[in-house]
Amino acid sequence: MPLEGQLVILREQRRDDLAFLTSLQNEPQTQAWSLALPPDFTDVMYEKRYEAREFSYDPDEARFVIVLKETGELVGQIQYTGLERRWSAALGIITASKFWGTGVALDAQEVLLRFLFCELGLRVVRLFSHSGIPRAARLAEKSGFQVSGRMRQSIIKYGGLHDNLVLDLLREEYFARHPELADTLPAL
């Protein structure tokens, strides 16, 4: 069963998605780190990356395709990386620009956060962004993330210097925002 929200479902990547994922990566505006990578990804590169994934009972990351429930359109990709079991992971999200401002990114983010806190039992979820893309930090803040670290002038983007932002969301902060969910894990 896919992970499901009000507007979107998150499901595994499929071979048919690869052209969409390549185009998503090649649209500079939609890269999470915006212009950090050259927009020259090919379908073959993505296919190799897709083929390289092996089955594991102990994965430390997951990548999901975001699909619009109503139409089945592909919206973007959301992932977590650097999983420390029962402790932490970092979240990243990319959505096609035509879906910006529609609420689907926030819905996808909430679906993944629920999985990370309720199913994986994490104590904190992190997110890294920079001051050159305030839209990304604003999206994170809508789910309760707060900017806890700001490294000055440590990112070069758009021909200038920007601050590197460390954002995080603690388990108790997440559950305080979601009274409909009960947290039965004892506090540390």
Partner 1 sequence: MPKAPFVGKAVTLRPFEIDDSKALRDYLNHPELMGRRHIPWGYPEFLPLTEPQVHGLLERWATEERTVVLAIDAQVQRQGWGLSGEASQASQLIGHAEFSWGWDPHAPSVSVVIDPSQQRKGYGSEALVLLLEHLFAFTPAHNVSCWIAEWNEAGLSFAAANGFQTAGRMRRVGMYEGRPFDLIITDLLRPEFQARMAERGAAEQAQE
Could you tell me the smallest distance in angstroms from the CB atom of residue 90 to partner 1?
A: 11
Cβ of residue 30: shortest distance to partner 1, in angstroms?
19
- Helix residue ranges per DSSP H, the chain: 18-26, 43-52, 104-114, 134-142, 171-177
Q: Nearer to partner 1 by C-beta: 126 or 139?
A: 126
CA distance between the termini of the chain: 32
* Tokens 């947290």 -> residue: 183
User: What's the closest the beta carbon of residue 92 comes to partner 1, in angstroms?
Assistant: 14
- The residue (of 79 and 164) whose beta carbon lies closer to partner 1 is 164
Give the amino acid at 68: L
At its nearest, how many Å lie between partner 1 and the CB of residue 85?
13
The answer to whether the CB of 53 falls within 8 A of the CB of 61 is no
CA distance 127 to 174: 14
Q: Are 165 and 129 in contact (CB under 8 A)?
A: yes
Whichever of 39 and 103 has its CB closer to partner 1, that residue is 39
C-beta closer to partner 1: residue 49 or 123: 123
Minimum CB distance to partner 1, residue 121 (Å): 14
**Is 3 or 124 the residue whose CB approaches partner 1 more closely?**
124
Beta-strand (E) ranges in the chain?
3-4, 8-12, 62-68, 74-84, 88-95, 124-130, 146-157, 160-170
Spatial contact of 124 and 88, defined as CB atoms under 8 Å apart: yes
Query: By the criterion CB under 8 A, which residues form the site for partner 1?
Result: 87-88, 123-124, 126, 147-156, 161, 164, 166, 168, 170, 188
